[in-house]
Amino acid sequence: MTAHAPTATGMTPIHRLQVASNLHQFIESKVLPGTGVTSVEFWKGFDAIVADLAPKNTALLAERDRLQTEMDAWHKANPGPITAGDSSSPADMKAYQKFLTSIGYLVPAPKKVKATTDNVDAELAKQAGPQLVVPILNARYALNAANARWGSLYDALYGTDVISEADGAGKALPGKGGYNPKRGAKVIEYARYVLDRTAPLASGSHVDSVGYSVRAGKLAVKLKNGKSVGLADAKQFIGYQGNMTKPTSVLLQHNGLHLDIQINPATPIGKTDPAGVCDLVLEAALSTILDLEDSVAVVDADDKVLAYSNWLGILQGTLTESVTKDGKTFTRGLNADRIYTSATSKKPVVLHGRSLMFLRNVGHLMTNPAITYTAADGTTKDIPEGILDAVVTTTIAMHDLKRKGKPGIKNSRKGSVYIVKPKMHGPAEVAFAAELFGRVEKMLGLKDATVKLGIMDEERRTSANLMACIAAASSRVAFINTGFLDRTGDEMHTAMQAGPMIRKGDMKSSTWIAAYEKNNVQVGLACGLRGKAQIGKGMWAMPDLMAAMMTQKIGHPLAGANTAWVPSPTGATLHALHYHQVKVSKVQKGMEKVVKKLEAKKLRNDTLNALLQIPVTTTPHWSAAEKAQELDNNAQGILGYVVRWIDQGVGCSKVPDIHNIGLMEDRATLRISSQHMANWLLHGVVTREEVKETFERMAAVVDGQNAGDKLYQPMAGHFETSMAYKAATDLVFKGLEQPSGYTEPLLHAWRLKVKAAQA
């Protein structure tokens, strides 16, 4: 059956699908040409996938509901924390695990799991470094992230609090503005010591360098005492740009990451440097997740077409954005590859100029009206959004796959497509994702396991069954990553009836979180992910507090994670220094030796007791001031994020908290805050009147924080008419009934109402 003309409702019928006409036109005119897939093949295959897999998707969601109902009943009958070693208690850990096993929440640990993923690019399999996550709707953010593979350390240091402003080293000259040479000197000194740590000289220090040159294929560094020395390890010198006697760039390598010493005495910085060095550029964001999920507000076909268009533009190398900076407007596109003269070969050294791109699809929960389908019972339903994403984004990725061996901008050199699949609950849902992508590959004529999966370990059932989850996609897994905020939101909802949760700020020191972070790395190594995939850690959410990040985030590579999330290109450049301080492959090898001695069952039991500890308290005796503080913090964060999501369609932004510290907020942070308030309401820690009063008071605070935004619509005094305010309060007052505590159903419904009102 071929497509009909668009109907009056703006939908194009084809087979059992009704496709929004703008989405249909985009696929026909932009996506399919150049893929080798015909329109007939595409729509026939798409229709069959929806008919076969949409019912399975629905069944998986019904299973989530069944399990939650069982756990709600159990926790009502056995309230309070789960005790360990007290068999007389009905809430004993053994009894709890037996119950979870009996309902199918816990499944047996596979005896042996070995990831067989192949054709994984080095950025994921071999190198260790930072990972960015950015909303795909924002073309400028996407381009900045893609280009953040390389970052200026000078700029990152000068513009952040990593360098102190003490002793006249402010970011601008007092009373004058402009570049501050005192601060610049501190930046240069810091960078030289980075070189001393990462690529030390045979003798002396880079601090004393007055010139860099190449002699007989080796780096020669002239010092201010007149001596010329080489590197302690000559193999660290990879190549250069310019000529040998006066190179414009010197390329070094350490711990699998590159450092580029930029030399140009004609620049304002270079002319003051004895060696003419004007910058130290670091290989930074090795990979980037372009996000279709937590950080975007995508609710209909218009939003989907914009998101898919940006993904297509990134992979075709055609995405550009007009940017105005310092009064000048220019066009930003994707960076080209970096080419150097090799130190040891006649062939040039060609380094990827951009991050390796993942795309995070939507999870299994949501549907989208961009496509409707006729179900077996004759009813019309919105398409499961995860199925829509899987088909369209993989088809778009064929534009990259078709470029194999051809010159130009390319994402994967190994012929793979990288899709992060979030919010999956347990191995059956991971298996469903693998089945879905298998069907898409078959439809498009792609080799099995071309699509590699990033499995987000951010739901409690996935954490508790992580080895079985990896086994369910063993030929596809290219990354596992923890997500503290979503994981905490799910923790709260799963055990909502167990009692009042501890304060939100205390969650990070709770028993389960340490076990969760440890388990993710241990299981990943036990399943053979070292050298095949990323084992990642979560986001640093405070983009203005880089000094604190430099102190704390080194814990991620030390824990054996070969990537961790950062909120900006600047954060990526700075976090890259941690991977020069810690050789993650060495850490992983040491951990692997210990893990391999444990059988799968023992490995799981090693952390399962702690992993299943529930963060409830039997003594919720907080003072009135403490409870008010908790409510204020939660309500202000919810309102500050939701008002932009609902009114402006902004899914991720730097939202000032109650202390006016900018925090990167997305739906994961919203989930934990709303579920925490719903939990305290349920158990009588606070009253509905107290929550309502807090929201109304915090609405005025958020209005004030957004006073400079011309598009902002105030909430205070408009409580009955502000859809954003109503959405925010719904998240708490209706939080108990939300599936798994997710915020998406309410947010999408309210955003669609706003868009309808604006039409």
653-656 and 662-665 strand pairing? antiparallel
User: Residue 3 above 50 pLDDT?
Assistant: no
Burial 608-621 (b: 16+ CB within 10 A, else e): bbbbbbbbbbeebe
Q: Report the catalytic residues.
A: 360, 666
For residue 481, with 0-12 CB atoms within 10 Å meaning exposed, 13-18 middle and 19 or more buried, which class applies?
A: buried
Using only C-alpha atoms, the chain has a radius of gyration, in whole angstroms, of: 27
Burial 307-336 (b: 16+ CB within 10 A, else e): bbbbbbbbbbbebebeeeeeeeeeebebbe
Q: Which tops the pLDDT comparison, 647 or 654?
A: 647
Q: What are phi and psi of 411, to 5 degrees?
A: -90, -75
Q: How far apart are CA 317 and CA 226, in angstroms?
A: 47
Q: How far apart are CA 423 and CA 386, in angstroms?
A: 11
Instruction: Annotate 21-33 with three-state secondary structure.
Output: HHHHHHHHHHHCC
Per-residue pLDDT, 391: 98
Q: How far apart are CA 385 and CA 360, in angstroms?
A: 12
The share of the chain scoring above pLDDT 70, in percent, equals 97
When the pLDDT of each residue in the chain is averaged and rounded to a whole number, the result is 95
DSSP states of 86-145: -TTSTTBHHHHHHHHHHTTSS-PPPS-------S--HHHHT----EEEEETT-HHHHHHH
Q: If you classify domain 122-151+287-318+352-365+389-611 with CATH, what class do you get?
A: alpha beta
Domain 152-283 matching CATH 2.170.170.11: the answer reads: yes
Instruction: Report residue 575 as tokens.
Output: 């976090």
- Residue 6 — pLDDT band, cuts 50, 70, 90? low
Per-residue pLDDT, 562: 97
- Residue 4 — pLDDT band, cuts 50, 70, 90? low
CB under 8 Å to 208, separation ≥6 — which residues?
A: 223, 224, 225
Rounded (10°) angle between helices 301-316 and 385-401: 20
- Residue 1 — pLDDT band, cuts 50, 70, 90? very low
Bridge partners for 13 per DSSP: 18
Q: How far apart are CA 415 and CA 413, in angstroms?
A: 6
DSSP one-letter code for 371:
E
Task: Work out the average pLDDT over 616-637.
Answer: 96
Bridge partners for 324 per DSSP: 329
User: Residue 86 above 60 pLDDT?
Assistant: no
Please provide the CATH number assigned to the domain covering 624-758: 1.20.1220.12
pLDDT in tens, 22-43: 999 999 999 999 999 999 999 9
User: Residue 88 above 60 pLDDT?
Assistant: no
Per-residue pLDDT, 2: 42
Tell me how far the alpha carbon of residue 214 is from its chain's centroid: 41
Burial 356-373 (b: 16+ CB within 10 A, else e): bbbbbbbbbbbbbbbbbb
Cα–Cα separations (whole angstroms), residue 739 to 76, 385, 422: 18, 16, 15
pLDDT in tens, 159-192: 999 999 999 999 998 878 899 999 999 999 999 9
Q: Which tops the pLDDT comparison, 407 or 487?
A: 487
pLDDT in tens, 414-446: 999 999 999 999 999 999 999 999 999 999 999
Instruction: Report residue 619 as tokens.
Output: 């003594």
Task: Name the amino acid, one letter, at 179.
Answer: Y
The share of the chain scoring above pLDDT 90, in percent, equals 89
Task: Work out the average pLDDT over 652-658.
Answer: 86
Task: Work out the average pLDDT over 335-342.
Answer: 97
Cα–Cα separations (whole angstroms), residue 336 to 239, 352, 354, 655: 18, 8, 8, 33
User: Residue 720 above 50 pLDDT?
Assistant: yes
Dmax over CA atoms of the chain, in Å, equals 86
User: Residue 91 above 80 pLDDT?
Assistant: no
pLDDT in tens, 541-598: 999 999 999 999 999 999 999 999 999 999 999 999 999 999 999 999 999 988 887 7
The domain ranges of the chain are: 11-102, 122-151+287-318+352-365+389-611, 152-283, 624-758
- Residue 326 — pLDDT band, cuts 50, 70, 90? confident
User: Residue 671 above 70 pLDDT?
Assistant: yes
Instruction: Report residue 519 as tokens.
Output: 């388990």
pLDDT in tens, 247-261: 999 999 999 999 999
Task: Work out the average pLDDT over 48-68.
Answer: 98
Q: How far apart are CA 568 and CA 218, in angstroms?
A: 35
User: Residue 660 above 90 pLDDT?
Assistant: no
Per-residue pLDDT, 233: 98
Task: Work out the average pLDDT over 53-80.
Answer: 97
Contact 421, 361 (CB under 8 A): yes
CB under 8 Å to 256, separation ≥6 — which residues?
A: 126, 127, 128, 129, 579, 585
